[in-house]
Amino acid sequence: MLRDQFITHHKAVVDGFRWRSREIARIEGFSDACFGFAVTLLIISLEVPRTSTELFEVMHGFVAFLATFWMLASIWYAQFLYFRRYGLEDRITVILNLVLIFTVLFFVYPLKFLFTTMIEHGGFGGTLAGAHGVEKVILPQHKPLLLIIFGLGFAAVFVVFLLLYVHAYRKREALGLNELEVFETRHSIRAQIFAIGTGLTYLVLAGVEALPRTTPGEKLLARSLAVGSLIVVLALVGWILTVRRKRAAWVKEWHARQPETMLGE
């Protein structure tokens, strides 16, 4: 029984959530190695600078590397927190975790390319000095496809997390989740839905980029869809902020109702 496995571990409570695992299982060890490889992919193309000019060129890409590394680290920490809280190692969890690792490894190069383009080259319209003169970093016909790749990759990561949290919620009785832990699991499910919705807005932007803009009517349609996408994103942000405020108030009220002995478990 999962409940018996939990009892055998040394108990720990972090943010009111009891940790059901404090040991690094094989599934986590494999995941850590893959995340380390993903970080290596970010810098594997870099060589040790031989001149000060080459050094400054390398340093120029530091911000893009930092942004990409931060996103990878956030995904790693979310996975770490999931395994500590639930301690699940069943077949469904293993399969979903493998899908997550595959998505991260596939996503790392498009992610770095996007941040490098946005930060170093000033957006999709940036140019770069190449062997044949000044070239566009992103060809206009490639913009929709790049947005689709980024949007699907971003959404796929959080679809996996959504399925992981839904799986944990279904096993709430076997795991012995208390009222707070059930509430936090539901909140995590809502947070993944928000992230998936944010990623899917890039598909709308891809459609906007693919629209022709030869007539005033076509230009108006493209602008309207772009503004509509922005409104959807703002609505999602407003929704998640409201959910977080309600969560904070509920958690505070729940802690106030608990005896001190229970809070210290």
Mean pLDDT of 33-62: 70
Residue 7: predicted pLDDT: 42
pLDDT digits (tens, 9 = 90+) for 124-155: 655 555 555 566 766 777 788 888 888 888 89
Residue with the larger pLDDT of the pair 99 and 117: 99
pLDDT at 120 over 90: no
Mean pLDDT of 113-117: 76
Cα separation, 168 vs 185, whole angstroms: 8
Residue 160: predicted pLDDT: 95
Residues in the chain: 265
Residue 2: predicted pLDDT: 47
Cβ atoms of 175 and 112 within 8 Å: the answer is no
Mean pLDDT of 255-260: 74
Residue that the structure tokens 């001190």 belong to: 260
Kindly give the interhelix angle for 179-210 and 143-170, rounded to the nearest 10 degrees: 160
In terms of Cα–Cα distance, which of 73, 104, 107, 82 is closest to 27?
Answer: 82
Residue with the larger pLDDT of the pair 152 and 261: 152
Residue 134: predicted pLDDT: 62
pLDDT at 264 over 50: no
* 3-class SS string, 168-229: HHHCHHHHCCCHHHHHHHHHHHHHHHHHHHHHHHHHHHHHHHHCCCCCHHHHHHHHHHHHHH
Angle, CA of 246, 248 and 252, to the nearest 5°:
115
pLDDT digits (tens, 9 = 90+) for 66-113: 888 888 889 999 998 999 899 888 999 999 999 999 888 888 877 777
Cα separation, 144 vs 202, whole angstroms: 9
Residue with the larger pLDDT of the pair 24 and 197: 197
Structure tokens at 64: 């893009």
CA 23 → CA 8, 26, 29, 79, 91, distances in Å? 12, 10, 10, 14, 19
Global pTM value: 0.79
Its sign, for the CA torsion 116, 98, 165, 252, is: negative
Burial of 33 (0-12, 13-18, 19+ CB in 10 A): exposed
Residue 169: predicted pLDDT: 96
Residue with the larger pLDDT of the pair 11 and 259: 259
Gyration radius (Cα) of the chain, Å: 22
Average pLDDT, the chain: 79
Weakest-pLDDT range from 14-28, 35-49, 84-98, 245-259? 35-49
Bridge partners of 80, per DSSP, are none
